[in-house]
Amino acid sequence: MSIERGLNISELSKSSFSTKPAGNSLGGTLAATGMIFRPVMRQADRAIDWTRDKTDAIVARINSADSPLGALDTLFGSPFYLYGAHYEGRLKGPPGQLIAQRDGAVCAATVDGAVWITHMKAKDQVSLETGRAIESAEGRNAKICPVHAIKLPATLALGRRAANLPWSPLPIDRPADHRTFQEIRYVEEQGVGRLFFDFHNGAMSTDQCYRLRDAFLFARSQPTRVIELRGGADFFCNGIHLNVIEAATDPALESWRNINAINDLVFEILNTMSHLVIAGICGNAGAGGAMLALAADYVYAREEVVLNPHYKGMGLYGSEYWTYTLPRRVGAAQAIAITEGCRPMGTGEAKSTGFVDDCFGSDAADFGRILAQRSERLSRREDFWHLVRKKHERRMADERAKPLARYRAEELTRMRENFYGPDTAYHAARQRFVYKGQPVRRLETTTPETGLAISPTRRDTACIRTA
């Protein structure tokens, strides 16, 4: 049951409150607080009638289930759970028809407009023939396995059925003149280039890492002084995309590609000598996403954000140049304590240890306003180019002491062992995360290209959740 009105903490201290049921009724226990119970929403309550429901209703229904549940619908004759609805202000088409794709999302026409759906999860097992390559900006790919029960970017979940949808690309610096779905966008104001990125649940696939890297290179080419890295309001970044990795034919290979892609992004940030870079952590950040922020020159976080800057719980050593950036900020001993302790870190602790430079903002809007003010003040400083020169000198001194390439090689040696070594802790932890702790079993399937069976004992086989 859901509760109509939240319980004020002060009410718990009232003498009339009791933790014991009144008349064996939970409703009786809470009646004195004025709370009203509403029935749990069922899939039938979220059912979408594309021929009648307006965009507002469809967005509300999908987003009301934007959790492990999803809103169940039928596409191409197969049931899918839908997630991540966004308004579209210009595209139109026959209601219920998929009319476009963009950055892994698909656009569905409604009776009064259209809606973007960013993620889907197949309810039933998907045939291998409908699998689709995971394409990257580097032109490499890894095949999608026949999997279900994994939330994926919509085009990957649909597989080849989405291949013929028209592309609807957007320049990252487009004017904000209509509502639409856009993961990465760039805004320039007062000598500051703001690079906004908002990835679903903070996870970045190989393709998303390369798109963000290219967007950063674009921002770095502009005649500004400061670049802001602005993650989403809920999540700044949580590192590599475990769901996409789990769905790949070869999860170890896709893990390797994904970690190298995010490393390529971090490398460009670390080697930016034309600008000062600010990371604005408005939402929670974890693992490689938390370490990504440390590549910036200044790191600011919103009050009450929670950071999890460690990898060990996922069976990984970690990369993103953390062995360079983390000790540089907090010291060698504290860096070991943070990565080995596997504890969540509040912004107060993060500031006291030096992980972040400051924390402020009571909400996302307040944080964005103050961050913009600080960035603009920094860009106007009379000693700005002196700050840039000092940054360059420090980076060159650090490079002479130990090149970034060596940090990366050492980290990736450990990560390769995590991906391909005899200890399968990472693969087991990833599956527990993706399948929400449900047991999985291996399937022996036959690839359509070769007719060869995929061994059920290999880590790169398909996994499905058991009933």
Q: Where are the domains of the chain?
A: 46-162, 184-418
Q: Which of 391, 426, 436 is nearest to 296 (CA)?
A: 391
What is the model's pLDDT at position 84? 94
Picking from 64, 63, 168, 53, the residue whose alpha carbon sits closest to that of residue 112 is 53
pLDDT for res 7: 33
Query: Does 123 have pLDDT greater than 70?
Result: yes
Judged by average pLDDT, the poorest of 39-53, 236-250, 293-307 is 39-53
What's the pLDDT at 16? 42
In the prediction, which pLDDT does 9 show? 33
How do residues 242-268 score in pLDDT, each as one tens digit?
A: 999 999 999 999 999 999 999 999 999
Residue 358 has pLDDT above 90, yes or no: yes
Weakest-pLDDT range from 79-83, 337-341, 377-381, 441-445: 441-445
Q: Is the pLDDT of residue 2 over 80?
A: no
Is pLDDT at 333 greater than 90 in this prediction? Answer: yes
Per-residue three-class SS string for 126-190:
CCHHHCCEEECCCCCEEEECCCCCCCEEHHHHHHHHHCCCCECCCCCCCCCCCCCCCCEEEEEEC
> Please, which residues bridge with residue 73 across strands?
80
CATH topology of domain 46-162: Methionyl-tRNA Fmet Formyltransferase; Chain A, domain 2 (3.10.25)
Average per-residue pLDDT in the chain? Answer: 85
Q: For the whole model, what pTM was predicted?
A: 0.84
The amino acid at residue 406 is R
Residue 132: pLDDT band with limits 50, 70, 90? very low
Q: Do 46-162 and 184-418 agree at the fold level?
A: no
Distance CA 74, CA 70 (A): 13
- Residue 349 backbone dihedrals phi, psi, to 5 degrees: -65, -40
Tokens of 132: 């689709």
Each residue's pLDDT tens digit, 398-423: 999 999 999 999 999 999 999 999 99
Average pLDDT over residues 423-450: 71
Report pLDDT digits (tens) over 135-165: 444 444 445 554 678 999 999 999 888 989 9
Tell me the C-alpha to C-alpha distance, in Å, between residue 246 and each of 65, 71, 251, 260, 440: 23, 22, 6, 17, 12
CA distance 153 to 201: 12
- State yes or no: pLDDT of 372 exceeds 70: yes
CATH superfamily of the 184-418 domain: 2-enoyl-CoA Hydratase; Chain A, domain 1 (3.90.226.10)
Residue 242 pLDDT: 97
SS3 446: strand
pLDDT greater at residue 347 or residue 21: 347
According to the model, what pLDDT value does residue 184 have? 98
